Amino acid sequence: MRYKITQIISDCAKIVLGLSATGLTFSSVIDLTYFLSVPGFNNFKVIISQEQDPWLYTSWGLLVDTALLTLFVLQHSLLASSKIKDIFNSYGLQVIYRTLYVITTSAALLVLIKYWIGTPHVILWQYNMSHRPVFLLYSCIHVVAWLIIYVGNICTDVTELLGIKQVYYSMVKLPDPNVRKSFQLQRLTKHMRHPSFLAFVLIFWVYPVMSLDRLLLATILTCYMYIAWNPDDRDYHYHKLQYERKYHELDHLQQKYY
């Protein structure tokens, strides 16, 4: 009886963590989309008095923004390290590892967005968004880029990325979902932590108002993603093989029903 009560409490805690991870993720993704793609979303968050030194404000803003980016990079890297994963495994917490990773990532993103300080005093370039062709081109690039990111994550198995599948499998006494993955797929996932690398690069750099804070964000996050991006020939051939296999399967279904 005592074991059953403990198991029920454990399952309830897992469900709460899974739901929290889902809610925080959707909230942070929506805010991140607006933050990165809607010009003036944060309205630079500045209230400048006439006596305030613009260069002093800019320096302080860049310092705060660097600290926020550092917080996000450290969280994203340390929790993804094998040592942290081993610690979770040693305490039997591997089931909730992904949900905690997602929750802390979402929290780091929300903190970054909330406390980000714009630097409107130094503008490297600025496009006239009132010009219709410029607006349409910018909108198309960002919409397509975000669609690639969203669809890519859904196709990768969004329930596993959120940690929901791990929690469900644990509750119904099934092995961890990663056990069913081939070694080649696990290797590819490890080497390609950000499958939408190009889409994010476009979002970072194709922006109508390139202020110093935007340049800082684009540079640091692009470099961080590039460092984490290290697929090799084996990963490429595996990805190509899976693409060709899926293409032939879809072609076969099309011929069968049409």
Q: Taking Cα atoms as reference points, which of 58, 31, 72 lies closest to residue 213?
A: 58
Q: Give me the chain's average pLDDT, please.
A: 82
Domain count, the chain: 1
Q: Read off the pLDDT of residues 13-40 as tens digits, 9 standing for 90 and up.
A: 778 888 888 889 999 999 999 999 988 7
Range of the domain at 136: 2-257
pLDDT of residue 42: 61
Q: Read off the pLDDT of residues 165-215 as tens digits, 9 standing for 90 and up.
A: 888 888 888 777 777 766 666 666 666 666 678 899 999 999 999 999 999
pLDDT of residue 200: 93
Q: Read off the pLDDT of residues 66-78 as tens digits, 9 standing for 90 and up.
A: 999 999 999 988 8
pLDDT of residue 17: 82
pLDDT of residue 49: 46
Better pLDDT: 88 or 36: 36
The share of the chain scoring above pLDDT 70, in percent, equals 79
pTM: 0.83
pLDDT of residue 108: 94
Query: pLDDT-derived band of residue 151, with 50, 70 and 90 as boundaries?
Result: confident
pLDDT tops 50 at residue 50: no
pLDDT tops 80 at residue 232: no
Alpha-carbon span 258 to 253, nearest angstrom: 8
Three-state DSSP string of the chain: CHHHHHHHHHHHHHHHHHHHHHHHHHHHHHHHHHHHHCCCCCHHHCCCCCCCCHHHHHHHHHHHHHHHHHHHHHHHHHCCCHHHHHHHHHCCCHHHHHHHHHHHHHHHHHHHHHHCCCCCCCEEEECCCCCHHHHHHHHHHHHHHHHHHHHHHHHHHHHHHHCHHHHHHHHCCCCCHHHHCCHHHHHHHHHECCCCHHHHHHHHHCCCEEEHHHHHHHHHHHHHHHHHECCCHHHHHHHHHHHHHHHHHHHHHHHHHC
Q: Taking Cα atoms as reference points, which of 2, 1, 18 lies closest to residue 171?
A: 18
